[in-house]
Amino acid sequence: MLIVMKSGATPGEIDGVVQAIERLGFRAHVMPGATRTAVGITGNPGTLDPVRFEHLAGVSEAIRVTKPYKLITLDLQPDQTVVRVGDATIGGPELAIIAGPCAVESREQTFAVAEAVRASGARFLRGGAFKPRSSPYDFAGLGEEGLRILAEARETFGLKIVTEALDEAGVDLVEKYADMIQVGARNMQNFSLLRRVGKSKLPVLLKRGIAATIDEWLLAAEYVMSEGNYQVVLCERGVRTFTQHARNMLDLAAIPVIRRISHLPIVVDASHAAGKSALVRPLARAGVAAGANGVMVEVHNNPDAALCDAAQALTPEEYLTMVNEMRGIHRLLSEGVSA
């Protein structure tokens, strides 16, 4: 059930609706939009009678929602969400660039890469302290020590830190050191983890699962939002298909498809989709051309020696060329094109 308030509804009227919902034992989600405020109801076991809400002061209409999701929809919030990470944003007019090493390997390596990231004008530094690895015998990250290095890089370079948490204990640590929590592709349907980050004050970067449909992905975002955290950024990172020439197949149609359903911003992880550095630049450009709000990319000061995903990391030079190309395309599309 979605309660759409009148455009001139007062804070008191909105609060009255929230209280009415909570008195019934359900949960109210207030989502202010540019022209009207909507209040989503979750926690109701079945369908509710709209009449119950339509007589309340300030209510325009109560809509039965038949789609499997509510909070992520344009029905609830017609304007694009702008996720704020300090003074940086994802979903606003600026192209968000999230760059850094696959894994934090050392202070030296992280600082060398962070310097290149800052030089490019990007606002976000990525880097894994906890790495999900297919094999139990592979390098799994430096753990809390890696988080400390990232936090130090934040102070030194003024970048926002985006890093992955693999479980509930990991979220506690990431909250202590970082600015944005990444949920990885393998955990996209780890519902305990989704509920935990849904209770966090930090924004969430939610990667698409390796073979997730758009609906499953949006429902994973719905899990996070249903716990009260509305700062969610979707990250398309390629899906698994029959092809072998790239690590995954970047599904750029997902961007315009989701734009027509959801207000959440979307970024593209060009590195994991590519799996080879030579493919990263073309795919990152394509992502921006398809309308992504930002791009995530792996950069390493010495790709050949990287402990993780060496084949797909860009050198700082390749990375800078790519940033310029992406910004050119983004500017061209933002300003409108004339013949």
Q: Which residues, 163 to 192, sit near a second copy by CB under 8 A?
A: 166-170, 186-187, 189-192
CB 64 within 8 A of CB 50: yes
Closest by CA to 62, choosing from 15, 12, 120, 2, is 2
Minimum CB distance to a second copy smaller for 60 or for 189:
189
CB of 89 to a second copy, least distance (A): 21
Closest by CA to 220, choosing from 174, 258, 247, 252, is 258
Does 273 contact a second copy by CB under 8 A?
A: yes
Q: Centre a 10 Å sphere on the Cβ of residue 216 and count the other Cβ atoms it contains.
A: 14
Instruction: Figure out which of the listed residues 53, 223, 230, 319 binds a second copy, where binding follows CB under 8 A.
Output: 223
CB of 33 to a second copy, least distance (A): 22
Looking at residue 204, the DSSP 8-state letter turns out to be E
Does 25 contact a second copy by CB under 8 A?
A: no
User: How far is residue 308's CA from residue 133's CA, in Å, rounded to a whole number?
Assistant: 9
Count H helices, E strands: the chain?
A: 11, 14
Instruction: Figure out which of the listed residues 8, 25, 243, 304 binds a second copy, where binding follows CB under 8 A.
Output: 243
Place of tokens 């789609």: 67
- Based on the number of CB atoms within 10 Å of its own CB, is 98 exposed (0-12), middle (13-18) or buried (19 or more)? buried
Instruction: Figure out which of the listed residues 75, 236, 251, 269 binds a second copy, where binding follows CB under 8 A.
Output: 251
- Binding residues for a second copy, total number by CB under 8 A: 76
What value, to the nearest 5°, has the Cα angle with vertex 288 and ends 284 and 289? 110
Q: Which stretch binds a second copy (CB under 8 A): 49-57, 82-90, 156-164, 216-224?
A: 216-224
Q: Could you give phi then psi for residue 2, rounded to 5 degrees?
A: -125, 125
Instruction: Figure out which of the listed residues 85, 274, 306, 308 binds a second copy, where binding follows CB under 8 A.
Output: 274
Does 244 contact a second copy by CB under 8 A?
A: yes
CB of 329 to a second copy, least distance (A): 6
CB pairs under 8 A, 24+ apart, for 168-177?
168/192, 168/193, 168/196, 170/130, 171/196, 171/197, 171/200, 173/129, 173/144, 173/147, 174/129, 174/147, 174/202, 175/200, 175/201, 175/202, 176/147, 177/144, 177/147, 177/148, 177/150, 177/151
Minimum CB distance to a second copy smaller for 65 or for 112:
65
Closest by CA to 219, choosing from 67, 13, 104, is 67
CB of 154 to a second copy, least distance (A): 24
Q: Which stretch binds a second copy (CB under 8 A): 4-12, 78-86, 241-249, 307-315?
A: 241-249
Q: Could you give phi then psi for residue 195, rounded to 5 degrees?
A: -65, -35
CB of 320 to a second copy, least distance (A): 8
Minimum CB distance to a second copy smaller for 126 or for 208:
208
Minimum CB distance to a second copy smaller for 187 or for 301:
187
70-129: contacts with a second copy (CB under 8 A): none
Q: Which stretch binds a second copy (CB under 8 A): 99-107, 204-212, 300-308, 311-319?
A: 204-212
Minimum CB distance to a second copy smaller for 222 or for 269:
222
Does 285 contact a second copy by CB under 8 A?
A: yes
Instruction: Figure out which of the listed residues 37, 77, 110, 226 binds a second copy, where binding follows CB under 8 A.
Output: 226
Q: Is 179 helix (H, G, I), strand (E, B) or coil?
A: coil
CB of 336 to a second copy, least distance (A): 9
287-326: contacts with a second copy (CB under 8 A): 287-291, 320-321, 323-325
Instruction: Figure out which of the listed residues 249, 310, 311, 315 binds a second copy, where binding follows CB under 8 A.
Output: 249
